[in-house]
Amino acid sequence: MAKSDKSPSKSAAKSAKVARVAVAPGAAPIDIGISAEHRAAIAQGLNALLADTFTLYLTTHNFHWNVTGPMFNTLHTMFMAQYTELWNAVDPIAERVRALGFPAMGSFADYSKASSLPDAPGTPPKAKEMIRILVDGHEAVARTARGLYPLVDEASDEPTADLLTQRLDVHEKAAWMLRSMLEE
Ligand SMILES: [Fe+2]
């Protein structure tokens, strides 16, 4: 049954942090069966996921450039695969925000406010610390994505649910692979 006429529940709205984004003035009305309140709350949550994903992308690319030590070749290559995947992921997240009728976040100032991940360290850390930071990063993005499910389910927003599932699979798998490298 469609639940789109209901306002987002408190718990669901709580999971979608970040300041509200304004709808573009003069934008054509949208009626896709999801209420304006739900669309706004989901777009807000997706912009937080976008900020997290972009921050993790940049940190991973930074580590690809700056990694040193005996694991150089393995990590340099592994980080390249990971930052490429993250770079490709930001586009579908941003475009889902647009399909819901809201502006996609796209500035360093907004990302630094909205991201649940810290910025990359100013001085490149040792290789093992890089791996630890990336495990934490992938876990943080997974938490952000997972936190959106109650809201998305309430609004019967299947395309967003599908996107979140794909992102969770990637982040949980990357966290596992990186975490495994920390074992003796
Ligand atoms: Fe490179």
Residue 5, in any domain of the structure: no
**DSSP characters over 17-43:** -SPPPPPPTTPPP--SSS-HHHHHHHH
Q: How many domains is the chain built from?
A: 1
Residue 166, in any domain of the structure: yes
Other Cβ atoms closer than 10 A to 133: 21
pLDDT at 184: 84
pLDDT at 24: 61
Residue 29, in any domain of the structure: no
pLDDT at 14: 46
Domain ranges, residue 81? 40-116+123-181
Residue 8, in any domain of the structure: no
pLDDT at 9: 61
Q: How far is the CA of 127 from the centre of ligand 1 (A)?
A: 16
pLDDT at 28: 80
Residue 28, in any domain of the structure: no
Q: How far is the CA of 87 from the centre of ligand 1 (A)?
A: 14
Q: How far is the CA of 44 from the centre of ligand 1 (A)?
A: 33
Q: How far is the CA of 76 from the centre of ligand 1 (A)?
A: 8
Q: How far is the CA of 80 from the centre of ligand 1 (A)?
A: 7
Q: How far is the CA of 131 from the centre of ligand 1 (A)?
A: 17
3-state secondary structure of 48: helix
Residue 33, in any domain of the structure: no
Residue 1, in any domain of the structure: no
Q: How far is the CA of 123 from the centre of ligand 1 (A)?
A: 19
Q: How far apart are CA 94 and CA 139, in angstroms?
A: 20
Q: How far is the CA of 169 from the centre of ligand 1 (A)?
A: 25
Nearest to 104 by CA among 148, 47, 142, 147: 47
* Summary mean pLDDT of the chain: 90
Residue 35, in any domain of the structure: no
pLDDT digits (tens, 9 = 90+) for 96-150: 999 999 999 999 999 999 999 999 999 999 999 999 999 999 999 999 999 999 9
pLDDT at 23: 58
Q: How far is the CA of 11 from the centre of ligand 1 (A)?
A: 42
Q: What is the CATH number of the domain that holds 96?
A: 1.20.1260.10
pLDDT tens, residue order, the chain (184 aa): 344 445 666 555 444 443 344 456 676 889 999 999 999 999 999 999 999 999 999 999 999 999 999 999 999 999 999 999 999 999 999 999 999 999 999 999 999 999 999 999 999 999 999 999 999 999 999 999 999 999 999 999 999 999 999 999 999 999 999 999 999 8
